[in-house]
Amino acid sequence: MSRTITRRMANVKPSAVREILKVTADPSFISFAAGNPSGDLFPVEALREYSLDVLANPASLQYSVTEGYQELRDLVSERYGRGYNLKKPGDDTIIVSGGQQGIDLAARCLLEEGDAVICENPSFIGALNCFRMYNAELVGIPCDEYGMLLDELEVALEANPRVKLIYTIPTFQNPGGTTLPLERRRKMLELALKYDIMILEDSPYFELSFDGTFPPAIKSLDDSGHVIFVGSFSKIIAPGIRVGFVIAPDWLTSKMTVAKQGADVHTNGVYMRVAAEFLKNYDVDAHILRCRTLYKEKCGLMLAEMEKKIDKRVRWTKPGGGLFIWCELPADKPSAGLCETLKQQKVAIVPGVAFDTDPDNLANCGFRLNFSVPSNEQIISGIGLLAEGISEYLDK
């Protein structure tokens, strides 16, 4: 009795990505398996300066209100809410401990056992596992090089009366690297309204656009209160600070705040203030331009090397931003087998099954490549080794 783990937890496996990261701690491996932004881009000097300033005020170390440090809420409402038209009448902004917590709190408030969540297939493993922890059913929708297929979405909505939420990463998707076009965004919103379903728009990457452009957020298109926007400072400041935000209708943010009281009381008070200083005093857009420029270069290099070296039977996305390229082997070649082969070449990738809404789908033939972490030299030699391993695997 005492050792019985809940069903919600019994169903969830540790993240395969995290397990792979442990393996690739071996420095002789070249890893394309990361999900991290580049550490070279962290604004360390500014964070040191702001930390000292913030710590001069002992209030930064005291308990604070659950919904977040008010000045940061205001700055987020200004930059994102007003700047990107994400905050609508009746909406509120709360600060969360990273985008992951935004997903978790929304799920806690919205997902009853047995409810279904629609998501892109493949999708972000952290979100999928979170929904599984609420005993929700995952309904994966196939994607093409532009993201979710909206005809398939409509079929799924029609077939599943218990769908409560559509979870989407529309811009520079993880792991797909895809960007949902404006017309599909409008259509997704239209379907959400038709079936009266909330959309959880997870958008940690949108500012990492290589050319500075991206379609409007789904949230910005909605005036009916059907979209929850989850944003993050993990990719434009640093993930280790665990600061993100949610902009959503206030009937929901008020409940998410109550949920957060039970989850962690509030987000780290020093770093809520450091993030506020960053938004107020740093040249945020110049910093984001530096990030975009570096990632554009790395992604371009990786795609060029892939074009030169990788077997033509493999297909891959051409991301407009973000951190990831998604590849697909021919349909009869599961990527888990490729990962095995690549142990010889000492190259790490994440096999598609890790992002599959069916965690046992060993037939998944996709895999994810990260270009933000490896050096240019590692990209060049690693793609060579990957190409070798792929040829060996496909001709086996």
Complete DSSP assignment for 133-177: TTTPEEEEEEEETTEE-HHHHHHHHHH-TTEEEEEE--SS-TTT-
Least CB distance to a copy of itself at residue 329 (A): 28
Whichever of 121 and 267 has its CB closer to a copy of itself, that residue is: 267
Task: Answer for the pair 66, 266: CB distance below 8 angstroms, yes or no.
Answer: yes
Least CB distance to a copy of itself at residue 202 (A): 13
Complete DSSP assignment for 194-255: HHT-EEEEE-SSTT-BTTS--PPPHHHH--SS-EEEEEESTTTT-GGG--EEEEEEHHHHHH
Task: Answer for the pair 69, 220: CB distance below 8 angstroms, yes or no.
Answer: no
Whichever of 268 and 357 has its CB closer to a copy of itself, that residue is: 268
User: From the CB of residue 110, how many other CB atoms can be counted at a distance below 10 Å?
Assistant: 19
Least CB distance to a copy of itself at residue 82 (A): 25
Least CB distance to a copy of itself at residue 51 (A): 5
Whichever of 241 and 306 has its CB closer to a copy of itself, that residue is: 241
Query: What value, to the nearest 5°, has the Cα angle with vertex 84 and ends 228 and 254?
Result: 30
Q: Give the DSSP letter of residue 355.
A: G
What are 141's strand-pairing partners?
Answer: 120
Complete DSSP assignment for 53-70: HHHTSGGGGS---TT--H
Least CB distance to a copy of itself at residue 362 (A): 21
Q: Is the peptide bond before 175 cis (omega within 30 degrees of 0)?
A: yes
Least CB distance to a copy of itself at residue 396 (A): 34
Whichever of 253 and 345 has its CB closer to a copy of itself, that residue is: 253
Look at the chain and count its residues.
396
> What is the strand order of the sheet 366-370 is part of?
315-316, 324-328, 366-370, 350-351
Least CB distance to a copy of itself at residue 115 (A): 9
Report residue 143 as tokens: 């994607």
Whichever of 65 and 380 has its CB closer to a copy of itself, that residue is: 65
Whichever of 241 and 279 has its CB closer to a copy of itself, that residue is: 241
Least CB distance to a copy of itself at residue 116 (A): 12
Whichever of 57 and 293 has its CB closer to a copy of itself, that residue is: 57
Whichever of 9 and 286 has its CB closer to a copy of itself, that residue is: 9
Map tokens 């809420």 to a residue: 73
